Structure 1
């Protein structure tokens, strides 16, 4: 199908890139905080040291606050994510549009298959205003608490929740709720400074999965438009 035959959507990517970056940050918070509510601080630190990789499927619903009397808008997407300490992760959005985000430890890549466009940024620059780089390799609980306040939140939807708030006030991430079913990561609820909420639900979570090195490598497809930021 030609591009003209596809459903139209906005062409600009700054907000979309920021949203995906915030989601990436939230995932890395979850990677660090998975056992906080279930087994306490010692279990949290044990998980941070012992869980070096992971993979899962996800469904994401983004809700934008209403404007000018209109109802709130929602967008639903789904895909897979994988991570490997330190500082490597891969998101693949499969529906409704194909997008891939790869952090290889040095560069953050965002590939939009529909537009055949790649956005390339230095990973330290892209995630430097957030604790994502630290959280990907945080060695212990004290390192995590240096940048976030963590507290137990009320049970909801059959899950136990941990609330994480960044201590830095100059970022766009306001808070993240991390949900657990027993000791299994099950959900993220992300709130940004614009009032936009992203609800992510995980299935098939695998900790310490064997992930090929190529998982966290990216090469722009031939003919793709590469934009460096």
Structure 2
């Protein structure tokens, strides 16, 4: 099995997930701007009322290459992207840092959660009104929110998409997100089989360091 294209694609998504991105966005039909305050409030309520989530995900890059896996989230700050069998990369957020582990080349990269676009998703206490805006979707059942820190644009932008769902926390279900990295590589994450507020052990967010042990570490 040739993993070279897969690893390149995963490196792009990992670089976006962990480090600053340039821009993100979704384009829909007619604008629906009047609902901005209530939509932001609904998203904030969803985040505050979601302590954990598990889901299946499909990642699609701009070339149409698709990879799948499972996502586990536990607020605040914890997330795990477990890719499909045969893919040697893992992304884990332990509450303070997001880390990409490449088991094939035995390398580890890490960034503070707060410096990542995913920080908006992992911190339920952040005030969305200060750094988020609702994008037009043309549908009352869909909310698209673009989030970025105006004081730190280098941290990147994440556009999250929610579907109205009375059975989900706050009446919304996270459908996924879209991003463009600094090289204009578009990456999309689609979620399915979401389960909210389930028991998730903290051990889920541990990982094995593949780097050779050296003195002093």
Q: Same fold (TM over 0.5)?
A: yes
Of structures 1 and 2, the one scoring higher in RCO (CA 8 A, sep 6+) is: 2
| Correspondence for 1:216 | 205
Residue 24 of structure 2 corresponds to which residue in structure 1? Answer: none
- Corresponding residue SS for 1:225: coil
- In structure 2, the residue matched to 1:101 is 91
Q: 1:44 to 1:217 in 2, by over 3 A?
A: same
Q: How does 1:123-202 map to 2 (within 5 A)?
A: 123-124=111-112, 127-130=113-116, 132-133=118-119, 135-139=121-125, 143-146=127-130, 148-155=131-138, 160-166=142-148, 167-168=150-151, 170-171=153-154, 173-180=156-163, 182=165, 183-202=172-191
Report the 3-state secondary structure (helix = DSSP H, G, I; strand = E; otherwise coil) of the residue aligned with 1:74: coil
Distance 2:75 2:159 in 1: 20
Distance in 2 (alpha carbons) for counterparts of 1:54 and 1:207: 5
Per the normalisation by structure 2, the TM-score is 0.70
Report the CA distance between 1:153 and its aligned residue.
Answer: 1.9
| Mapped contact 1:101–1:110 kept (Cα < 8 A) | yes
> Partner of 1:40: helix, strand, or coil?
helix
1:4-43 superposed matches below 5 A: 6-7=1-2, 9=4, 15=12, 17-21=14-18, 40-43=39-42
Instruction: Report the more deviating stretch, 127-136 or 197-206.
Output: 127-136
| Contact 2:92–2:100 under 8 Å retained in 1 | yes
Q: Is the 8 A contact 2:79 2:94 kept in 1?
A: yes
CA distance in structure 2 between the aligned counterparts of 1:175 and 1:43, rounded to whole angstroms: 17
Contact 1:120/1:226 (<8 A) preserved: no
Q: Runs of 5+ in structure 2 lacking a partner?
A: 21-34, 166-171
Give the secondary-structure state (helix, strand or coil) at the position aligned to 2:199: coil
Match of 2:200, SS state, is coil
Relative distance call for 1:194 and 1:173 in structure 2 (3 A) is farther
CA distance, structure 2, for counterparts of residue 173 and residue 78 of structure 1: 24
What are the ranges of 5 or more consecutive residues in structure 1 without an aligned counterpart?
1-5, 24-35, 64-72
Q: How does 1:55-66 map to 2 (within 5 A)?
A: 55-63=54-62
- Distance, in Å, in 2 between the alignment partners of 1:197 and 1:135 is 19
Q: Is the 8 A contact 2:118 2:158 kept in 1?
A: no
Supply the RMSD in Å over aligned alpha carbons. 3.5
Q: Partners of 1:133 and 1:174 in 2: how far apart?
A: 10
1:173, distance to aligned residue in structure 2 (A):
3.0
TM superposition score normalised by structure 1:
0.66
